[in-house]
């Protein structure tokens, strides 16, 4: 890692982000590193490592952007859950020391693409008339699979399996799996269950042509379509810098309180 090629990305709309940005900058300067400071709306390439300050939404946007540059991003949580983040403002200096001592790994996370859009967590497809259910036909590799009468469809990566996908009744996938999960949102039949498919499959969701639909990438980028939409694996992978003690199953317990009795949840 070239010491002169660090960047700090922050979201000024999030409380305390400027304060933490300044604190992180001071820590790096003391180590002889003078990072570039970037706002979330002004990202640019040319770095070997990026610190990103904000919630999971900020980290998702930054990781998607830097995927095409193959640049690792390290999340510092200022949001609520912070499932993708590795540090908090309280242990910021300790985390930086861990990184500079080489006690971290870079995980590659598969992403989805649909047209010119990409997603690290998921694509969500819904009808524009949010007050009505919609009919969706699912095809995999151009072969018909089933019809869903539902509020929407989620197509998720393993990274996104702990997000909207999980809330809608989908399974948790470990990040290393090369697979996607397709989850109907509030389906009108008990036999409509989530499906896990290999990441080499082409997923097509067909809709009723007389209605309008929207597809949303990571809850951030939204566009309308009609007729059908194709979703495949992205050509790029996001690179997340993770501290060595951030093992996936321990994160499930610490952040999602996985399988813990209610009495132990603060």
Residue 265's pLDDT is what? 53
Task: Catalogue all structural domains in the chain, each as residue range(s) with its CATH number.
Answer: 6-102 (3.40.50.10330), 113-234 (2.60.200.30)
The lowest-confidence range among 55-64, 83-92, 209-218 is 83-92
What pLDDT digit, counting tens, does each position of 151-178 carry? 999 999 999 999 999 999 999 999 999 9
Q: Please state, rounded to an integer, the average pLDDT across all residues of the chain.
A: 89
pLDDT exceeds 70 at position 98? yes
Residue 82's pLDDT is what? 58
What pLDDT digit, counting tens, does each position of 18-53 carry? 999 999 999 999 999 999 999 999 999 999 999 999
**Rounded mean pLDDT of 118-143?**
92
Residue 211's pLDDT is what? 82
What pLDDT digit, counting tens, does each position of 176-205 carry? 999 999 999 999 988 889 999 999 999 999
**Rounded mean pLDDT of 111-131?**
92
Two tokens, residue 193: 């269950």
pLDDT exceeds 80 at position 88? no
pLDDT exceeds 80 at position 11? yes
Residue 128's pLDDT is what? 85
Task: Tell me if residue 56 is catalytic.
Answer: yes
Q: Where are the alpha helices (DSSP H) in 105-247?
A: 164-167
């Amino acid at each position: 890692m070239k010491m002169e090629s660090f960047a700090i990305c922050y979201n000024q709309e999030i409380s305390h982000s400027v304060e933490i940005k300044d604190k992180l900058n001071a820590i790096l300067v003391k180590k002889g590193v003078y990072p570039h400071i970037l706002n979330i709306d002004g990202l640019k390439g040319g770095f070997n490592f990026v610190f990103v300050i904000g919630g999971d939404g900020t980290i998702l946007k930054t990781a998607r952007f830097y995927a095409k540059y193959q640049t690792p991003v390290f999340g510092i949580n200022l949001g609520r859950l912070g499932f993708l983040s590795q540090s908090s403002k309280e242990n910021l200096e300790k985390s930086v020391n861990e990184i500079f001592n080489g006690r971290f790994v870079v995980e590659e996370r598969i992403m989805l693409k649909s047209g010119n859009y990409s997603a690290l967590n998921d694509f969500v497809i819904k009808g524009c008339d949010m007050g009505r259910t919609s009919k969706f036909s699912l095809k995999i590799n151009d072969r018909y699979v089933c019809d869903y009468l539902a509020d929407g469809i989620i197509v998720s990566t393993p990274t996104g399996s702990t997000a909207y996908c999980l809330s809608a009744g989908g399974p948790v996938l470990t990040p290393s799996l090369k697979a996607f999960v397709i989850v109907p949102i509030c389906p009108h039949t008990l036999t409509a269950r989530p499906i896990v498919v290999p990441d080499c499959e082409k997923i097509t969701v067909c809709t009723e042509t007389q209605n309008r639909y929207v597809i949303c990438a990571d809850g951030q980028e939204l566009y309308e379509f009609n007729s059908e939409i194709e979703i495949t694996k992205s050509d790029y992978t996001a690179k997340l810098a993770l501290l060595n003690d951030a093992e996936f199953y321990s994160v499930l317990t610490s952040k999602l309180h996985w399988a813990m009795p209610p009495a132990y949840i603060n």
